[in-house]
Chains A and B, each alone.
Chain A
Amino acid sequence: MATTYDIATQQAEPKQGGLASVVAVESVYKSFAGHKVLNGISLRVNKGETLAVLGRSGTGKSVLLRLIIGLDRPDSGSICIHGQNIAGLALDRMGEIRKRMGFLFQQAALYDSLTVRENVAFPLEHHRGDLSKSERADRVRQLLIEVGLDGDISKMPSDISGGMQKRVGLARALALEPEILLLDEPTAGLDPISSGEIDELILKLQRERQMASIVVTHDLHSAKTIAGRLALLNEGDVVIEGTFEDLQRSDIGFVKEFLQQS
């Protein structure tokens, strides 16, 4: 079902179908040591939809993801996951919501004392006690095959390349079959070929799993490849939101400058 969105508004309300937002960020403010990072930002993402959040460095893109998964708390505003406001939830209560989310960190954040296999098995061992050891091992193998890493499962994270680390991070993020996937700069620091492969992988996973995804990136090419909708941030707020074509048609000076420089 097609869904269209208002361009250049802070709130993207579905106009057709009335789909309930899986992630709804409303008027969120966040400061660090008096420095305002997010300035009343509002965003919504529906099931099966991918939103790319673009912007210059330091505009609060990664902070937005950290707020959505509850690693930081907003100063004000609400962040609803499946309709539940997570701002102020206790750690263990937040854990229940996090089981439905996957997070790929910018530097992959793999556990450096564990092998690739153990990294991917880590969430399963903690949350899927109902699975037998062999079922968990099968699941890990399946996830690693899915991200194209079957041959390197006994290596330590320090022994594999940056692109491979991202793949392992992605496999770990998918281990609990999340309904929401948060990707922080999935192609940062990778060569163009590896970036393209990661983009393809994300697209494939999106098609197969129909997750609601938010991708934070600097990479406009990557953003238009993997996301149906783009939101451009500046000074902690959304300047414009829409398809890539909507951004191209915009008369806003910052949007034009950003597209030209990218």
Chain B
Amino acid sequence: MSVIANSATTLFNGFFEWFGELGIFSWRVLTAAVTPPYEWRELVRQLDEVGSKSLPLVAMAGAAIGVIISLEARYSLTRFGAKSMFPATLVYSVVQVMGPVITGLVVSGRVGAGMGAELASMKVTEQIDAIEASAINPYRLLAATRILACILMLPLLTLATDACALLTGWFAQALVEPLSFHQFISSGFNGATFNAFLPQTFKTAVYGLIIGLIACFQGMRTRGGAAGVGRAATNSVVLASLFLILADVVLVKFILVFFT
């Protein structure tokens, strides 16, 4: 019984310790990010790393999602005699729900694991200590640049995912019955306002914050050699994906309250 109680206490303490350390880490990154000198060159490198190198992956994921939603939507809408709603259903499903979440999860997998492993490897080989010993703030050079790159790139990648999904979704439909792309777009976005789409796209900046913050935090607190690096990479992906989905619950509610 006492073993169970001890385990529960350890788990409980570990949970709060993790959040406490995350809070301290976030504060250090924030203060480092807003004070000069700014690491522009590293930021540009990270924008390329997070943005252009993730583009093929999110484009492919978007293309696949477009086809899947198109097939499913056509089947369901035909059953309920609402085939004319197909363009709007596809547009709203992709832009409001699937595009942001799929982009977030794909980037979380690629970038989260990469950042977590890279920083963890730097930590265990004392490269982060070497940066600090060279009078360079590692929170500014390594963490702030990566987190900012994620925040800036996620909305742009989401737009790319959405575009690919709409294109392949339309194409899948056009193969079955004639529908011009112009017709599809004008019907799909008919009556749509910016409020219906922009908040959903730009909420992914919060996903970017979550992915960057968790990956940098897990990487820079790593201990224990190769096993520690592996743990950091895994934890970065798992925790970033989990927090991303949890945050989405709050963000969707927030958008519904303030933007519709």
Contacts and interface: CB of A to CB of B under 8 A. Distances in A.
A140 to B, nearest CB: 14
B134 A109 contact: no
Interface in B115-133: 121-122, 125-127, 129-133
A112 B137 contact: no
A96 B136 CA distance: 10
A71 B134 contact: no
Interface in B97-129: 121-122, 125-127, 129
Contacts of A122: 134
Interface residues of B, number: 19
Question: Which of A70, A71, A91, A112 is the most central at the interface, judged by chain B CB atoms within 10 Å of its CB?
Answer: A91
A107 B137 contact: no
Nearest to B134: A123
A127 interface: yes
Range of interface residues on A (Cβ < 8 Å): 20 to 34
Given A103-B130, A111-B130, A95 B136 contact: yes
Interface in B215-244: none
Interface string B14-37: 000000000000001000100101
B56 to A, nearest CB: 22
A207 interface: no
A94 B122 CA distance: 21
B135 A96 contact: yes
A107 B126 CA distance: 8
B46 to A, nearest CB: 13
Contacts of A141: none
Contacts of A29: none
Contacts of A103: 130, 133
Contact of A111 (B37, B127, B139): B127
Nearest to A114: B127
A99 interface: yes
B194 to A, nearest CB: 41
A142 to B, nearest CB: 18
B137 A95 contact: yes
Contacts of B32: 91
A76 to B, nearest CB: 22
Contacts, number: 61
B134 A112 contact: no
Contacts of A126: 37, 134-136
Interface in B33-73: 35, 37
A109 B130 contact: yes
Given A103-B130, A109-B130, A91 B137 contact: yes
Nearest to B126: A109
Interface string A211-231: 000000000000000000000
A176 B126 CA distance: 20
Interface in A98-148: 98-99, 101, 103, 105-107, 109-112, 122-123, 126-127
A172 interface: yes
A69 B130 CA distance: 11
Given A105-B126, A107-B125, A109-B125, A71 B133 contact: yes
A99 B133 CA distance: 8
B146 to A, nearest CB: 14
Nearest to B138: A91
A112 B125 contact: yes
Given A92-B35, A107-B125, A107-B126, A71 B135 contact: no
Nearest to A98: B135
Interface in B125-174: 125-127, 129-137, 139
Nearest to A105: B126
A107 B130 CA distance: 11
A95 B132 CA distance: 8
A91 B133 contact: no
Contacts of A91: 28, 32, 132, 137, 139
Interface of B: 28, 32, 35, 37, 121-122, 125-127, 129-137, 139
Q: Which 5 A-B pairs have the closest CB atoms?
A: A98-B135, A109-B126, A109-B130, A95-B135, A103-B133
Interface of A: 66, 69-71, 91-92, 94-96, 98-99, 101, 103, 105-107, 109-112, 122-123, 126-127, 172, 176
20 contacts: A69-B133, A70-B132, A71-B129, A71-B132, A91-B28, A91-B32, A91-B139, A95-B135, A95-B137, A98-B133, A98-B135, A101-B133, A103-B133, A105-B126, A107-B125, A109-B126, A110-B127, A112-B121, A112-B125, A126-B136
Given A111-B130, A127-B134, 5 more contacts: A91-B32, A98-B133, A105-B126, A107-B125, A176-B134
